[in-house]
Amino acid sequence: MNILVTGGAGYIGSHAVKMLLEDDHHVVVIDDLSTGDKQAVDERAVFYNLSTHEEQAVKQVLTDEKIDAVMHFAAFSLVNESVAHPLKYYHNNIEGTRALIQAMVAANVLTMIFSSTAAVYGEQKTMPIKETAPLSPSNPYGITKKTIEDMLKDVHQAHPAFNYMILRYFNVAGAYHDGSIGENHDPETHLIPNVIKSALFKKPKLKVFGTDYDTTDGSAIRDYIHVEDLIDAHIKALYEATTNKRSDIYNLGSAKGYSVLDIIKATEETLKIPVDYDIKARRAGDPAMLIASHDKIFQDLNWQPTRSLNTMIASAAQYFKKRDDA
Ligand SMILES: NC(=O)c1ccc[n+]([C@@H]2O[C@H](COP(=O)([O-])OP(=O)(O)OC[C@H]3O[C@@H](n4cnc5c(N)ncnc54)[C@H](O)[C@@H]3O)[C@@H](O)[C@H]2O)c1
């Protein structure tokens, strides 16, 4: 198939590009390089430095490249930044996606695989979290993703031939198996890259936010999923949407919870390097625990993650070591 990947120069999008190429698709990327890195885009993909907002130009790319489906990763995704600058998030995530869908409908490209997030759930009482749980995002970032989910449902209602797969990611981690690409945001707010950088380079020193949660060791518990498992699920969802013409919503997580202190211990064991850290107060709006149920996607698409926490840590460390040598 001919697949358009928005945000293909970012962490997750660049992995999608490589894995779609491996699966024999023609891959076209649009990315405005606002947070992404052109170097991360595999050279076999066609690259356009373009924003999702540029509706006419995006429509032209969809038509010229005879695109069959869109994987939409392009977004801003820093929770704290979204609290400080909500309009920046409403504009980029919501308006950018509206323009992209408009271009798709105009070009008769009728399948979107969309990156949603566990942030749409907010704080939940029942674990693991099922797709049917009530949505109550607790920050503007989560609200933008929930709004896009609603937009996709409305467009499908109005144009039944338009299909979507909404994939709600829990915490994505790890790097491509050859270490050529990986996660390196600036600023980096995700735990695993920060623990690894602190272990390998001793700076910045790791901060643990909250050790007084109602959890076994007091630190917050999250569900981590390897980026390659995540993209495997995207490719299954792509075939389901295009072949069976179905729209649906799925969680992407491992259904296992690890505390912040578990991650530090696992990193120390995997890398055989001690990790020094400071304990800080909880951050506002950080739930004690987020664990996905992935029963639905296992039943419908026969997907479940196969890569362990150690593989996530080891692959991310391999990526950082390669970058450091470069
Ligand atoms: N990383 C995670 O753990 C995680 C968890 C849940 C959901 N997500 C979602 O997954 C997606 C990818 O996340 P990531 O970690 O790879 O982020 P990232 O910042 O590394 O990648 C985003 C890419 O999109 C590009 N971009 C942003 N706005 C754009 C626009 N309007 N037009 C064109 N390009 C634009 C950026 O330049 C960047 O290359 C996002 O939608 C994010 O909300 C990520």
AA letter at 57: A
Tokens of 268: 């120390």
pLDDT grade, residue 326 (50/70/90)? low
Residue 78 has pLDDT above 90, yes or no: yes
Distance from residue 73's CA to the centre of ligand 1 (Å): 5
Give the residue whose CA is nearest to atom 35 of ligand 1.
74
The mean pLDDT of 296-322, rounded to a whole number, is 97
| pLDDT value for 325 | 66
Residue 141 has pLDDT above 90, yes or no: yes
Residue 95 has pLDDT above 90, yes or no: yes
Distance from residue 64's CA to the centre of ligand 1 (Å): 25
DSSP for residue 38: G
Residue 184 has pLDDT above 80, yes or no: yes
Tokens of 147: 């709004």
Cα(150)–Cα(154) distance, integer angstroms: 6
Give the tens place of pLDDT for each residue, 205-214. 999 999 999 9
Q: 117 by DSSP, 3-state: which?
A: strand
DSSP for residue 159: S
The mean pLDDT of 130-159, rounded to a whole number, is 97
**Residues 54-76, buried b or exposed e (16+ Cβ, 10 A)?**
bbeebbebbeebebbbbbbbbbb
Q: What is the dihedral of CA 130, 131, 132, 135, to 10 degrees?
A: 100
Give the tens place of pLDDT for each residue, 225-283. 999 999 999 999 999 999 999 999 999 999 999 999 999 999 999 999 999 999 999 98
Tokens of 247: 């729209």
φ, ψ (nearest 5 deg) of residue 159: -125, 85
Distance from residue 106's CA to the centre of ligand 1 (Å): 24
pLDDT grade, residue 101 (50/70/90)? very high
% of residues, the chain, pLDDT over 90 = 96
- The closest-lying atom of ligand 1 relative to the alpha carbon of residue 93 is 31
AA letter at 236: K
Contacts of 115 by beta carbon, 8 Å cutoff, 6+ apart: 7, 12, 72, 73, 75, 167, 169
Cite the beta strand spans of 213-270 per DSSP E: 221-222, 224-226, 248-252, 258-259
The mean pLDDT of 75-91, rounded to a whole number, is 96
**Is residue 141 annotated as part of the catalytic site, yes or no?**
yes
| pLDDT value for 324 | 73
Q: What is the dihedral of CA 38, 90, 222, 276, to 10 degrees?
A: 60
pLDDT grade, residue 203 (50/70/90)? confident
Cα(7)–Cα(75) distance, integer angstroms: 7
Report the mean per-residue pLDDT for the chain: 96
The mean pLDDT of 303-318, rounded to a whole number, is 98
Distance from residue 76's CA to the centre of ligand 1 (Å): 6
| pLDDT value for 91 | 98
Contacts of 96 by beta carbon, 8 Å cutoff, 6+ apart: 51, 52, 53, 74, 75
- Other CB atoms within a 10 A radius of the CB of residue 197 amount to 20
Give the tens place of pLDDT for each residue, 41-61. 999 999 999 999 999 999 999
Domains of the chain and CATH, by start: 2-173+224-252 (3.40.50.720), 191-222+255-325 (3.90.25.10)
Pocket of ligand 1 (CB under 6 A): 6-7, 9-13, 30-36, 51-53, 73-75, 77, 92, 96, 115, 117, 169, 171-172, 185
- The closest-lying atom of ligand 1 relative to the alpha carbon of residue 35 is 37
Q: If you write DSSP's letter for every residue of 124-154 in order, what string do you get?
A: -SSSSBPTTSPP---SHHHHHHHHHHHHHHH
CA angle 238, 243, 245 (to 5 degrees): 85
DSSP for residue 186: S
Which listed residue (48, 141, 164, 319) is catalytic? 141
Cite the beta strand spans of the chain per DSSP E: 2-6, 26-31, 46-49, 69-72, 111-117, 163-169, 171-173, 206-209, 221-222, 224-226, 248-252, 258-259, 277-280
| pLDDT value for 55 | 98
The mean pLDDT of 302-313, rounded to a whole number, is 98
